[in-house]
C-alpha cells in the first residue's frame, strides 16, 4: 500500500489550490458540489468558480465533453495567507473538464457537471492535459470517488 509523505499535501497545494466538482442544479443553478480543501476558496470565489465552470453555450441535444480554462481575481477581503499558502496570488486559473450526459431522471433529461482544478499557474498545456485525464477518469469510472482523486493528486 502506498503511504503519503507528510509534506506531500503541502507541496501539492503550491501547484493546485483546490479541486472542485461543479454541477448544474435545475432548481438552484450552478453550484459547487464538492471541493477540497474545503476552505480553499471563499464563498464569493466558490460562486465565481461555479459560474465560470460551464461553457457559454452547449449542444442541448447531444452528450458531449469540453475542456477549457479561465482566469479570475481572488476575493480581496480574504487572502491566501488565511488558507495556509506562503504567498498571495491576485489571480487564479480554473481548468475545467465539462460533461453533459443523458439522464432521464433529471428534469431536462441531462446531467451537467465539471471537474475543476484551481491553480495560480498559467501552464495551460499541462493543466488542460491533467484536468482532461483526471476528469475523464473521474466521470467515466464507475465509482472512483472524489477522495481517491485527491490522493492521486498529492503524489
Cα maximum dimension of the chain: 47
pLDDT tens column, 25-45: 878 889 999 888 888 899 999
CA distance 50 to 30: 6
In three-state secondary structure terms, 34 is strand
Tally of CB atoms within 10 A around 145:
10
Three cell numbers written together for 29: 443553478
pLDDT tens series, the chain, 155 aa: 334 455 555 555 678 888 999 998 878 889 999 888 888 899 999 999 999 998 876 666 667 788 999 999 988 765 544 444 445 678 999 999 999 888 778 777 788 899 999 999 999 999 999 999 888 888 887 555 666 666 556 54
Three cell numbers written together for 120: 495560480
CA distance 68 to 42: 23
Amino acid at each position: 500500500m502506498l503511504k503519503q509523505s507528510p509534506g506531500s499535501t503541502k507541496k501539492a497545494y503550491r501547484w493546485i489550490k483546490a479541486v472542485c466538482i461543479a454541477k448544474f442544479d435545475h432548481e438552484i443553478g450552478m453550484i459547487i458540489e464538492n471541493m477540497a480543501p474545503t476552505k480553499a476558496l471563499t464563498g464569493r470565489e466558490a460562486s465565481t468558480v461555479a459560474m465560470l465552470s460551464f461553457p457559454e453555450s452547449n449542444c442541448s441535444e447531444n452528450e458531449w465533453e469540453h475542456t477549457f480554462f479561465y482566469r479570475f481575481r481572488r476575493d480581496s477581503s480574504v487572502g491566501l495567507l488565511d488558507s495556509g499558502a506562503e504567498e498571495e496570488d491576485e489571480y487564479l486559473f480554473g481548468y475545467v473538464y465539462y460533461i453533459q450526459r443523458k439522464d432521464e431522471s433529471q428534469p431536462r433529461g441531462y446531467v451537467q457537471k465539471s471537474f475543476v482544478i484551481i491553480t495560480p499557474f498559467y501552464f495551460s498545456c499541462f493543466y488542460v492535459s491533467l484536468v482532461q485525464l483526471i476528469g475523464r477518469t473521474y466521470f467515466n469510472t464507475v465509482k472512483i470517488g472524489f477522495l481517491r482523486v485527491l490522493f492521486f493528486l498529492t503524489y
